[in-house]
Structure 1
């Protein structure tokens, strides 16, 4: 049977059989921020496997194919129209998950690698200015309360996130003679679900042992 099929048909059969086994492509942002200001430079990189002799990459913006076949898609001067969901695919990968890029117009913008973090992970915020204009007397706020003041440090770092670090954040600073503020953005700190269910299971087992009378007592040194 196989000998009766032409080579192209065999290739299609093999391709159809292995499509489900292909890895999914991944879109990466460089720099890592998914919120940028007008005129910023952004590079989107597609990570995926390529077929021998075929290094082409397909890109989509909001579901429309982009005329770009390189593994990287460069936005030299970001415009509001560049906002949207970006996807990519290589010859030996399936379509990537969308990466949302939002381009804002303004003087200050709060940036973060992630807006949802697990408890215990770091939170990194940046008060980004248009065209990297110098910002002085930089302040960071959480839920309207000041959290950090610095004359020129535009970064705010929390080494280990706790649940109380969830909330609405924005930054403010002096540019020239004007007091400028960024839009507020929500940061969510989540409990590690694996750890949560493990603790819940251990607690449930402990309660069950107590009800069944399966409690053991250890004699201390003073009782020996």
Structure 2
């Protein structure tokens, strides 16, 4: 049976019969997950039914919701490029180290590939350093591991001039961070002023601490500094837009087995995908039935229903909470109907 044929089926067959198919899945991807090719595999109870999938060390679960039914489809979590020092902009002749960060669950990586402005570089290590950078070293960098997905572009600017406002390359929801008003080394400077939406901020020195941000944050910062050159102090300015990145994906809730039958044991699972740059983000999970909490926040991503009864039917959802900064996200609801009767 082809995958397209299966999507048109009334789901009377069990999904364990579905194999990989050379077709493109026409549905919305789950947040934070990416499909990398046109070969898809259905998973049953987290066990791959296809030898090629089972031997692929860089595949992880991606979750799809089709016609009220959840499937697991082979996919990979994108790696992410990080900078050290963690700035989007540097001056010429400064150095920058780039690293390719992959999900720690991905095993067996043998080599990495690097790209600048979509051109492959002669780099095979997980990280490399640009020493004494030139302006032509600026650009959009991407990486990938073996057969995995290519990362999103990470843009590095290498600039001449007198002043740059340095902003961290990635700022995650719930983060506090620091901006730096960085002048070209070796020149005498005077007063530094930071502005937010053109309004001066209370600050001292070249750095400005910024409190916790969320995904709706999109703030325009500017800094001004007097720098002595060409026989006098001259005012220079630079500005940057602060954009916030998702710390972890919105939860997706699934149920096994399906359909759920009276008297059986049912497992409700809350799936969350962490950023590859924050793989150690500690999350707590809570579960709800009909908007009432049935399992409080804890480390388990599963809620067990033993000897299910019709009264256990309802709309189930889960909520994830980051323990460090209290960033919370709620899943969509899934309706579970316990079929059959207890005797």
What TM-score do you get using the length of structure 2 for normalisation?
0.43
- 1:34 Cα shift? 1.3
Cα-Cα RMSD: 3.6
- 1:112 Cα shift? 1.4
Residue aligned with 2:52, SS: helix
Q: Deviations over 1:39-84 (max 9, x none)?
A: 22111011235637x3x32110011010122221211122221222
Name which of 122, 146, 151 aligns with 1:67.
Answer: 122
> Is the counterpart of residue 79 in structure 1 residue 117 in structure 2?
no
Q: Give the 5 Å matches for 1:1-224.
A: 14=52, 18=56, 20-21=59-60, 22-48=76-102, 51=108, 54=110, 56-91=111-146, 93-113=148-168, 118=173, 121-131=175-185, 133=187, 135-150=189-204, 153-161=205-213, 167-176=219-228, 177-187=232-242
Q: Deviations over 1:72-104 (max 9, x none)?
A: 121112222122211112236432222111222
Give the distance between the partners of 2:90 and 2:186, measured in 1 at CA: 12
Give the distance between the partners of 2:225 and 2:116, measured in 1 at CA: 34
Residue aligned with 1:14, SS: helix
Contact in 1 for aligned 2:165/2:223 (Cα 8 Å) = yes
- 1:189 Cα shift? 7.4
Give the distance between the partners of 1:169 and 1:66, measured in 2 at CA: 34
Structure number with higher helix proportion = 1
**Judging changes above 3 Å, is the alpha-carbon distance between structure 1 residues 91 and 167 closer, same or farther for their aligned structure 2 residues?**
closer
Contact in 2 for aligned 1:108/1:180 (Cα 8 Å) = no
- 1:117 Cα shift? 6.4
What TM-score do you get using the length of structure 1 for normalisation?
0.63
Give the distance between the partners of 2:142 and 2:107, measured in 1 at CA: 16
Give the distance between the partners of 2:123 and 2:160, measured in 1 at CA: 26
**Judging changes above 3 Å, is the alpha-carbon distance between structure 1 residues 132 and 67 closer, same or farther for their aligned structure 2 residues?**
farther
Structure ID, larger Rg: 1
Contact in 2 for aligned 1:122/1:157 (Cα 8 Å) = yes
Give unpaired runs (5+ residues) of structure 2: 1-50, 61-75, 251-290, 292-343
Give unpaired runs (5+ residues) of structure 1: 1-12, 195-204, 206-224
Give the distance between the partners of 1:59 and 1:50, measured in 2 at CA: 19
Structure number with higher strand proportion = 2
Give the distance between the partners of 1:40 and 1:111, measured in 2 at CA: 13
Deviating runs (4+, > 6 A) in structure 1? none
Residue aligned with 2:136, SS: helix
Residue aligned with 2:185, SS: helix
